[in-house]
Amino acid sequence: MTLRPDTTVLSAVIGVDSSTQSTKAAIVETGSGRLLAVGRAPHTVTGADGARESDPENWWQALRAAVAEALAESGLAPSAISGIAVAGQQHGLVVLDHDGVPLRPALLWNDTRSAPQAAALTAAMGPDGWLDRVGSVPVASMTAAKWMWLRENEPDTAAAAAAVRLPHDFLTERLCGVAVTDPGDASGTCWYSPAAGGYDPEVLALTGMRAELLPAVAATGAALAGRLTAAAAEALGLPAGIAVAAGTGDNMAAAVGLGLGAEGLLDHPVVSLGTSGTVFAATRSRPHSPLLAGFAAADGTHLPLGCTLNCTLAVDKVAELLGLAREDAAPGGDTVLLPFLDGERTPDLPSASGLLYGLRHTTTREQILGAAYEGAVVTVLRALDELPFDAPDAPLRLIGGGARGAFWVETVRRLSGRPVVVPDSGELVALGAAALAAGAVTGRDPVGLATDWGTGLGRELPALARDKATWDRVTSVLDRAAPALLSP
């Protein structure tokens, strides 16, 4: 994707997608939204038996490598870059010393060891109390539960913490030297209230969190957090002093990239198929459901979201066990496979394992793999009914790595019975972050920018007749199995 030498770029921005598995840095022309180059670098995730951790320094090194690769691929002079923003994996807990050095590896969103602490927090205020105060009921994924796990299991580390950050906060602070987050990512901590627009003092007291350890919350993800420091500029090969936006969480950035929000598409659901499976929408009303996270969007409006832990990686593991390629699948027939290989978040079964049901002599490997797809898709689509829609027949916007797989797309179409739009871009999180960076540079609304750029446009697929028999079979097994049969 090298830029032609005769192509003139007046200004470009960098949008960074720092996900669970890797960093992507997208260079985007500010005016047109042209994607000029993408650099990539992997992350290292460690842990077993529910533990999932990464060294935050690895994220910083990956960001440096991805930016360097993108600059080289684009052919741009660094002086063409005017801004940068980071979108990061949500919920992770980063604890730093007084010099900004991590005290331990970050606890990631899919680390389920904090399930007992989440249950204790829920009991302390009751599900309705949590929904009223912060919009979400604690589960193992949420940052507040991870902080409680740290306090109980590593009290010396918790006591030594001079700062507590989310993954994207950590990287933003490295860029501009300012401790700042945004309403979207902050809303995934369980100690920030989107309704009140600030950290909730009762939750802070309950969790033993001191407000001074937390970053300030910018008005939006496109707000100017600061300017690129000389040290960060030298590390990245970029001009010092360029704009650094506050950034946001990965799901919020994807919503920006799709043009969802007050000046874009309202009540249009998104299904994201990645390491996790998510469904979310920019909505007019605030949700009140224990099955949803009542997140804020990057602009501070509502972005209710349902999330599962097991999606593409779990299905890929099933394919590996069967000796099949990803696309070597067929509809599951009588077979049901619930691929809860890493526990599950929705439904809230952190100790769950996978379940295979309905095998026959006639069952094929391809049907077993297809049943894994069906189990993953049904689990995430069940959250659709919880979203407060005004447009229940709006097409699903299908994003994430799974949206590039033909069997994933057809399984979603078959089990949802709804039209599907598959955006042409596979880098919506990075593009959303780029729109936030462009917003910080130009003062324009990032959702409006992304809409003008057309980053959410793509193939429009008509609705298929809903496969109600498969839906009923999977949901019946799920409802009967959870939680008793899925607990070890």
Catalytic residues: 250
Radius of gyration, alpha carbons of the chain: 21
Tokens representing residue 387 in the block? 């979203």
Tokens representing residue 462 in the block? 């008509």
Strands 243-245 and 81-88: parallel
Q: Which residues contact 215 (CB under 8 A, 6 or more apart)?
A: 163, 165, 169, 173, 179, 180, 181
Which amino acid type is present at position 38?
V
**Residue with the two structure tokens 């000046």:** 263
Count of CB atoms situated within 10 Å of the CB of 205: 11
Tokens representing residue 181 in the block? 């987050």
CB neighbour class for 390 (10 Å; exposed up to 12, middle 13-18, buried from 19) = exposed
Count of CB atoms situated within 10 Å of the CB of 93: 27
Tokens representing residue 371 in the block? 């049943």
Q: Rounded to a whole number, what is the largest CA-CA distance in the chain?
A: 67
- Cβ contact 91:166 at 8 Å: yes
